[in-house]
Structure 1
Amino acid sequence: MTAQLACDVGDLEPGEAMRLELDGPDGSPVPVALVRDEDGDYHAVSDICSHGQVSLSAGEVEGCTVECWLHGSQFDLRTGNPLSLPATKPIPVYPVQLDGEHVLVDVDVTVDAVR
């Protein structure tokens, strides 16, 4: 696992999201939505909605979900599973770790691959 610096802890307030492009295993950019849920926990998911191919980081964060701004599908930030239509396919979830004041994300694997 190769965790990359995503941001500093103070860069996101609870209920906010930001778009990142991190280096994938082959060096190509991986679009990531880094989300801080309303409880203050950090989550990293694909920034691309599995239904509408739009940026999830531009959507609304509620509890432990992010909502696609285009069609309203909600995704669970812990599992990537869609919680409402029209999305039916999950989105990738990436491991997040805190290192002091830094938030690190590993896009080399998905959370399902770690379990």
Structure 2
Amino acid sequence: MSSFRVCGLADIPDGTARQIEVDGAPVALVRIGDRMLAVADTCTHAEVFLSDGDVDVEDRTIECWKHGSLFSLETGEALTLPATQPVEVFAVRTDGDDIVMEER
């Protein structure tokens, strides 16, 4: 499986999300310590960007800022209402000082 560099590790402060574009679709790239997680950046309920919401580093969740739905950054599962559908999860990792995403 091939991979591509999306940005540098220093480009994303710990405990935050940043939007990137992959194949024309928005992806929320989240840093928790030296670990990277990535999910589709559109709430499945309100169709707003999840990367504008809050990241909970302990629970590894991201909150939709509009109605408060929580999504697991590890599984994409919608954990609270009003969202009921999961978001897609992407394979992402660090490679030295780079953040690398696996091709789909």
If the length of structure 1 is used for normalisation, what is the TM-score?
Answer: 0.82
Q: How far apart are residue 70 of structure 1 and its match?
A: 0.6
Q: Which amino acid aligns with 1:35?
A: V
After TM superposition, list the pairs within 5 Å mapping 1:1-115 onto structure 2.
1-23=1-23, 29-37=24-32, 39-63=33-57, 64-106=60-102, 108=104
* Percentage identity across paired residues of the two chains: 43
Q: How far apart are residue 31 of structure 1 and its match?
A: 1.0
Deviations 1:27-68 (A, max 9, x none): xx121000113x442101000111111100001001200000
Runs of 5+ in structure 2 lacking a partner?
Answer: none
If the length of structure 2 is used for normalisation, what is the TM-score?
Answer: 0.90
Runs of 4+ aligned residues of structure 1 deviating over 6 Å after TM superposition are none
Q: How far apart are residue 107 of structure 1 and its match?
A: 5.1
Equivalent pairs, count: 102
Cα distance between partner residues in 1 of 2:63 and 2:25: 20
CA-based RMSD? 1.3
Runs of 5+ in structure 1 lacking a partner?
Answer: 24-28, 109-115
CA contact (8 A) 1:30 1:107 kept: no
